[in-house]
Structure 1
Amino acid sequence: MKIVNIFLLMLLVSLNVVAQDRLEIFKDYDLSKEVLSVTTVKVDPNMEDIYLAGLTKSWIKAVKIQKDLGHIKDWNIWASELPQSGDFNLVLTVTFESSQDLEPNKTKYDKFMKIWGEENQKISQETSAKYPEVRELTGEYRLRKVIFK
């Protein structure tokens, strides 16, 4: 009888292990509402400071306004400590509360453009036109956090 019980116990344990070789969304884990937009950039050697200076006149200025308006949750720039290794050495991120914030929205656009203005638009276009001389965009990603239960 002991042998039968041990066999049944081992069988149940092994079936449980086999059953857990795959997880199921919403049962075993959820995905966050929050969406992270990620852009990977390969900046040419010794051009990081020039590229970052350009971003302060364009991308950084724009995301600061968007955050102040509540259009985005947050933004960041991440720099590699090993800038010459790999496919990218700079990462730009924008965090949205949900995918709804990625939808076109004329009201949000008009509010942003009212603050951004024509002068910033002109400076941003002139600055970003020079970006291909110092960097290459290597990837665009949209990510959600995996939340295990």
Structure 2
Amino acid sequence: MNKTLIIALCVLFSSSVFSKDRLEVYEDYDLGSEIMMMTTVKVDPNMGDIYLAGLRSSWVKAVNIQKELGFIKDWKIYGSDLATSGDFNMLLVVTFDNAADIEPNKEKYKQFMQKWSDSDEKMSNEISAKYPEVRTLTGEYRMREIILK
């Protein structure tokens, strides 16, 4: 009797655990609406502080304007504690409320350009021209949350 019960329980648990070999979207998991655009960067050794200083005067200034205008939800910079390992050691992340916010939009462009001055553009171009001396872009990713049910 005990052997039969044990075998029955094993079959029951194994079939429930392994019954699906693939999951179905919207049935087994949902997709979040937020979009994260991630740029992976390999910053050269001992150049992290120089790169961050450039970002602060260019990329950070631009994403702060976009956030102030409500065009993006948030932005972040992540740095690896293991700076010399792997294909990248820094992430630049911009979070959008949804995919529609990524689409080109003439009105948003005009609003941004009203805040982004000619001197901002000139400084950003000068800083960006020097980036290849301190870093290499290794990838661009468009990520969306997967919510398992």
- Structure 1 residue 99 and structure 2 residue 96: aligned? no
3-state SS of 1:88 partner:
coil
Q: Distance in 2 between matches of 1:44 and 1:8?
A: 59
Q: Distance in 1 between matches of 2:13 and 2:68?
A: 54
1:1-149 aligned at under 5 Å gives the runs: 13-149=13-149
3-state SS of 1:33 partner:
strand
Gap regions ≥5 residues in structure 2: none
Q: TM-score, normalised by structure 1?
A: 0.91
Q: Distance in 2 between matches of 1:70 and 1:87?
A: 33
Q: Distance in 2 between matches of 1:4 and 1:131?
A: 69
Measured after TM superposition, the shift of residue 89 of structure 1 is: 0.8
Is 15-24 or 134-143 further displaced after alignment? 15-24
Aligned residue pairs, count: 149
Q: Distance in 2 between matches of 1:134 and 1:95?
A: 25
3-state SS of 2:77 partner:
strand
Cα deviation, 1:49-78, whole Å, max 9, x if unaligned, reads: 110000011100000000000000000000
Measured after TM superposition, the shift of residue 18 of structure 1 is: 3.5
Q: TM-score, normalised by structure 2?
A: 0.91
Regions of 4+ moved over 3 Å: 3-18
Percent sequence identity is: 59
Q: Counterpart of 2:58 in structure 1: which amino acid?
A: S
Q: Counterpart of 2:142 in structure 1: which amino acid?
A: R
Q: Distance in 1 between matches of 2:68 and 2:57?
A: 17
Q: Distance in 2 between matches of 1:55 and 1:92?
A: 10
What value does the CA root-mean-square deviation take over the aligned residues? 2.0
Q: 1:6 to 1:77 in 2, by over 3 A?
A: closer
Cα deviation, 1:85-118, whole Å, max 9, x if unaligned, reads: 1111111000000000010000000000000011
